[in-house]
């Protein structure tokens, strides 16, 4: 779909998903790394063996459908090569600190002189300018500043983030949206575009209904652990089952069905079937209408019932009843989940060192222009000759001058 377009991906671990999404959608992506490699090459988890900069599974996860080159942007030759590549590209995506690229002459103003129709996307923690633009940050601190932590976790303990880092993935994925939106605008105006992605504002949207809640209802939402408080009544979401946990909302048809199961197993009296209109039981709480059995009483047999069944038993029962009960799966259990297998989701990917792994697959099925993985993540500088020789006609000496020596040089991300 995006096959006419070329993307220069200058991001490090704080944005690599952006260009991968565009690559999955068909764009020709050239990943540009400093000679010492992207920061993501040094991020856990790692393969047990292999060359130091080719072992990161974090890097492997977010760099497919990209060719890879190194450019030493601290030198004139590297900077010139980037400008030459910009002339032949449609998108540039970077995740440097504010003003860092313009300090090299490679910011938006510099690149638009090379290409008057370029779409330039910059991913930063808080945006290009403003009082927080230069704050030191991490996944945890951006999640804190954006709001989701205030509503996550047990009320008796500290707020929590999702334990696996999420911030740069949200920011990267939304940067792909910003890139294509700006591209649509470029098609209208004919002018180069600058997209300023703030990870903080991206993460504010992960709070769903909580962001402006104070101005609407006069109070903030609070952490409620494994309970939901959006229906005006506190509803249990997470349940202990025989082999772990499941989630469901005790509401409408799901509640009606689970109460029936309790009666069938003798955990609740037969009269319960007639005592309540279970379909509207939780809504009655919202509207302040009376109920026969208080919620706490109802939850006792339900929790006892769920303890007697496994997560997959409950899932199968839910499907046959047309209700919603979901297992709390671990990543390991997901590798065996038959829905994903039967949809052919996992893709066999070659890891460095002749190994293979089943990797997460394509993110959607397109009927006329199927996405595909055309290449797996590049080794450091793998396509230096291919890109600089092939696209720009560079000689081997010019390539070496522009690319630097892989594994060397020093300009990592400071502060």
Partner 1 sequence: MAAADSLPSAGLPFDGLKVVDFSWVVVGPSIAKHFADHGATAVRVETPAPMDTLRVAMPFKDGAPGPNRSHFFGEFNTSKYGVTLDLKTQAGVDVAHRLLAWADVFIEAFTPGTVDRLGIGYEKARSLNPSIIMVSTCLMGQTGPLAGLGGFGYHAASMAGFYEVTGWRDLPPDGPWLAYTDTIAPHFLSAAVMAALDHRRRTGQGQRIDASQLEIALHFLSPQTLDSRVNGRTVTRDGNRSPTAAPQGAYPCLGDDRWCCIAVENDDQWQGLRQAMDDPAWARNERFLTTEGRLSHHDEIDRNLSLWTSDKDERQVMELLQAKRVPAGVVQRSSDLLRDPQLAHRGFFRNLEHTEIGSVPYSGPQYRIQGYDSGPRFAAPAMGQHNEYVLKELLGMSDDEIADAVVGGALG
* Residue 220: count of CB within 10 angstroms of its CB: 11
**392 belongs to the binding site for partner 1 (CB under 8 A):** no
Query: Per-residue x/- marks for partner 1, 80-109, CB under 8 A?
Result: ----------------------------x-
**174 belongs to the binding site for partner 1 (CB under 8 A):** yes
Q: Give the CB-side neighbour count of residue 112, counting CA atoms within 13 A.
A: 16
Interface with partner 1 in residues 227-266 (CB under 8 A) = 228-232, 237-238, 240, 245-249
* Three-point CA angle 277, 278, 279, nearest 5°: 90
Nearer to partner 1, 77 or 197 (CB): 197
Query: Per-residue x/- marks for partner 1, 195-214, CB under 8 A?
Result: xxxx-xxx-xxxxxxxxxxx
Which residue stretch of 74-82, 186-194, 290-298, 387-395 sits at the interface with partner 1 (rule: CB under 8 A)? 186-194
The CA distance from 128 to 81, in Å, is: 25
Find the binder of partner 1 among 105, 159, 352, 389 (CB under 8 A): 159
Residue count (the chain)? 415
Q: Dihedral of the CA atoms 346, 347, 349, 355 (nearest 10)?
A: 50
Interface with partner 1 in residues 277-336 (CB under 8 A) = 283, 286-287, 315, 318-319, 322-332, 334-335
**57 belongs to the binding site for partner 1 (CB under 8 A):** yes
**352 belongs to the binding site for partner 1 (CB under 8 A):** no
CB of 79 to partner 1, least distance (A): 23
Tokens of 406: 């892989």
**275 belongs to the binding site for partner 1 (CB under 8 A):** no
**357 belongs to the binding site for partner 1 (CB under 8 A):** yes
Our measurement of the distance from residue 181's CA atom to the centroid of its chain's CA atoms, rounded to an integer in Å, reads 19
CB of 403 to partner 1, least distance (A): 27
Q: Give the CB-side neighbour count of residue 237, counting CA atoms within 13 A.
A: 11
**110 belongs to the binding site for partner 1 (CB under 8 A):** no
* Three-point CA angle 411, 71, 6, nearest 5°: 125
Nearer to partner 1, 274 or 342 (CB): 342
- Whether residue 168 contacts residue 140, with contact meaning beta carbons closer than 8 Å, is answered with no
- Residue 236: strand pairing partners: 227
**397 belongs to the binding site for partner 1 (CB under 8 A):** no
**73 belongs to the binding site for partner 1 (CB under 8 A):** no
- Whether residue 176 contacts residue 22, with contact meaning beta carbons closer than 8 Å, is answered with yes
Find the binder of partner 1 among 41, 67, 79, 161 (CB under 8 A): 161
CB of 211 to partner 1, least distance (A): 5
Tokens of 333: 């259990």
- Residue 235: strand pairing partners: 228
Three-class DSSP category at 66:
strand
Find the binder of partner 1 among 52, 76, 103, 138 (CB under 8 A): 138
| Total of chain residues touching partner 1, rule CB under 8 A | 157
The residue written with tokens 């070659």 in the block is: 350
CB of 384 to partner 1, least distance (A): 26
CB of 172 to partner 1, least distance (A): 9
Nearer to partner 1, 83 or 160 (CB): 160
CB of 406 to partner 1, least distance (A): 23
Enumerate the H helices of 218-294 as residue ranges.
Answer: 252-264, 272-275, 281-286
Our measurement of the distance from residue 247's CA atom to the centroid of its chain's CA atoms, rounded to an integer in Å, reads 22
The CA distance from 277 to 265, in Å, is: 20
CB of 66 to partner 1, least distance (A): 15
E strands along 24-90, which residues?
Answer: 28-33, 66-70
Kindly give, in sequence order, each residue whose CB lies less than 8 Å from that of residue 356, ignoring residues fewer than 6 positions away: 348, 349, 350
**147 belongs to the binding site for partner 1 (CB under 8 A):** yes
**113 belongs to the binding site for partner 1 (CB under 8 A):** no
Which residue stretch of 92-100, 165-173, 265-273, 391-399 sits at the interface with partner 1 (rule: CB under 8 A)? 165-173
**58 belongs to the binding site for partner 1 (CB under 8 A):** yes
Find the binder of partner 1 among 110, 293, 337, 392 (CB under 8 A): 337
């Amino acid at each position: 779909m995006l096959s006419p377009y070329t993307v220069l991906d200058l991001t490090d671990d704080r944005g690599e998903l952006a260009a991968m999404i565009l690559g999955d959608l068909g764009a020709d992506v050239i990943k540009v790394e400093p000679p010492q490699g992207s920061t993501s090459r040094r991020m856990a988890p790692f393969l047990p063996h292999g060359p130091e900069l080719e072992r990161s599974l974090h890097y492997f996860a977010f760099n497919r459908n990209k060719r890879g080159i190194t450019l030493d942007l601290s030198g004139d030759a590297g900077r010139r090569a980037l400008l030459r590549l910009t002339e032949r590209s449609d998108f540039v995506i970077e995740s440097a600190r504010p003003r860092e690229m313009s300090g090299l002459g490679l910011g938006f103003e510099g690149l638009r002189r090379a290409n008057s129709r370029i779409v330039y996307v910059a991913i930063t923690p808080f945006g290009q300018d403003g009082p927080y633009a230069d704050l030191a940050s991490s996944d945890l601190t951006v999640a804190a500043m954006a709001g989701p932590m205030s509503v996550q976790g047990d009320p008796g303990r500290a707020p929590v983030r999702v334990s696996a880092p999420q911030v740069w993935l949200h920011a990267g994925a939304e940067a792909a949206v910003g890139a294509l939106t700006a591209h649509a605008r470029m098609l209208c105006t004919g002018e180069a575009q600058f997209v300023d992605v703030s990870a903080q504002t991206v993460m504010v949207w992960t709070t769903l209904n909580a962001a402006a809640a104070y101005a609407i209802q006069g109070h903030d939402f609070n952490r409620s652990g494994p309970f939901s408080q959006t229906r005006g009544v506190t509803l249990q979401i997470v349940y202990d089952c025989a082999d772990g946990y499941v989630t469901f909302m005790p509401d409408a048809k799901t509640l009606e069905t689970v109460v029936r199961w309790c009666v069938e197993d003798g955990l609740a009296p037969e009269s319960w079937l007639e005592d309540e209109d279970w379909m509207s039981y939780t809504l009655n709480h919202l509207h302040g209408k009376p109920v026969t059995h208080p919620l706490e009483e109802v939850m006792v047999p339900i929790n006892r019932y769920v303890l007697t069944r496994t997560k997959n038993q409950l899932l199968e029962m839910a499907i046959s009843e047309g209700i919603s009960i979901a297992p709390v799966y671990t990543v390991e259990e997901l590798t065996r989940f038959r829905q994903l297998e039967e949809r052919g989701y996992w893709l066999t990917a070659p890891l460095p060192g002749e190994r293979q792994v089943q990797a997460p697959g394509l993110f959607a099925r397109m009927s006329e222009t199927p996405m595909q993985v055309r290449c797996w993540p590049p080794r450091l500088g793998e396509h230096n000759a291919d890109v600089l020789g092939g696209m720009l006609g560079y000689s081997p000496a010019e390539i070496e001058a522009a690319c630097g020596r892989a594994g060397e040089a020093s300009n990592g991300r400071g502060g």
